[in-house]
Homo-oligomer: A and B are copies of this chain.
Amino acid sequence: MLGTRPANGTASRILEIALGLAQTRGFNGFSYADIAAALGIRKASLHHHFPTKADLGRALLSRYTVDFSKALDDIDRTGGDAYARLKGYVRLYEEVMVRDRLCLCGMLAAEYSTLPKPMQQALRAFFDDNERWLTKLVKSGQQNGTLRTGPLPRDVARMLLSALEGAMLLARSFEDPDRFEAVLQPILADLRSGNTRKAARH
């Protein structure tokens, strides 16, 4: 599962703890002291692995992007048709939700204007990756008839990303994962082939 690797070395364990803190409280919402306490070492030792917090942030985002990318590869390998893969993609977010966390990148997007430039760029790259993957998926689903045609694949991809990040935000504020499901389930159903849709008459 995303964000739960073995965590052998100290650097890796630091990133694991930092990830949980960042997904819960935000990148500006935790300190080296929090990590040190959770890990059982002193603050100063953390600087040996990540000299500055900006370094830590870049490493965090980099690892998250790689892990996410691997998860997408897994879906591509085992996922079945486009609709099933879409559900697999949504499941990635559900797994984060049930642990009372936000998507790291949704959280960082809120903090965007306070982030160091390299993190801002990495953040956009993450969203671009996801948008590209989703766009490709929707396009293939429309072509082979698993997904409803009509809307542009790229617009569907952006809508999905927005709805996912927004639904997590809201659901967590109510400490109610059902809100997440209530939003996503109808959206998925609506994308499925077999639903038809005529353009609005004027």
List A residues at the B interface (Cβ < 8 Å).
24-26, 28-29, 102, 106-107, 109-114, 120, 123-124, 127, 151, 154-155, 158-159, 161-167, 169-170, 172-174, 179, 182-183, 186-187, 189-190, 192-201
How many Å from the CB of A23 to the closest CB on chain B?
10
Compute how far the CA of A24 lies from the CA of B190 in the bound complex, rounded to whole angstroms: 34
Contact among B26, B174, B192, B194 for A124, CB-based, below 8 A: B174
Determine which residue in A24, A158, A199 has the highest number of CB atoms from chain B within 10 A of its CB, and name it: A158
Contacts A127-B170, A162-B163, A170-B162 given: A194-B186 contact, CB under 8 Å?
Answer: no
Contact among B124, B161, B194 for A198, CB-based, below 8 A: B194
Is A113 within 8 A of B170, CB to CB? no
Which residues on the B side are within 8 Å of A166 (C-beta)? 106, 161-167, 169
Contact among B26, B164, B199 for A26, CB-based, below 8 A: B26
Compute how far the CA of A39 lies from the CA of B158 in the bound complex, rounded to whole angstroms: 39
Compute how far the CA of A150 lies from the CA of B192 in the bound complex, rounded to whole angstroms: 15
Which residues on the B side are within 8 Å of A154 (C-beta)? 182
Compute how far the CA of A173 lies from the CA of B107 in the bound complex, rounded to whole angstroms: 11
Is A197 within 8 A of B200, CB to CB? no
Is A173 within 8 A of B127, CB to CB? yes
Which residues on the B side are within 8 Å of A198 (C-beta)? 194-196
Is A109 within 8 A of B201, CB to CB? no
Is A114 within 8 A of B186, CB to CB? no
Is B186 within 8 A of A155, CB to CB? yes
Is B200 within 8 A of A183, CB to CB? no
Known: A28-B29, A29-B114, A159-B187. 18 other contacts (CB 8 A): A25-B111, A26-B114, A110-B111, A123-B173, A124-B174, A127-B174, A154-B182, A158-B179, A158-B182, A159-B163, A161-B170, A165-B169, A190-B197, A194-B198, A195-B198, A195-B199, A195-B200, A196-B196
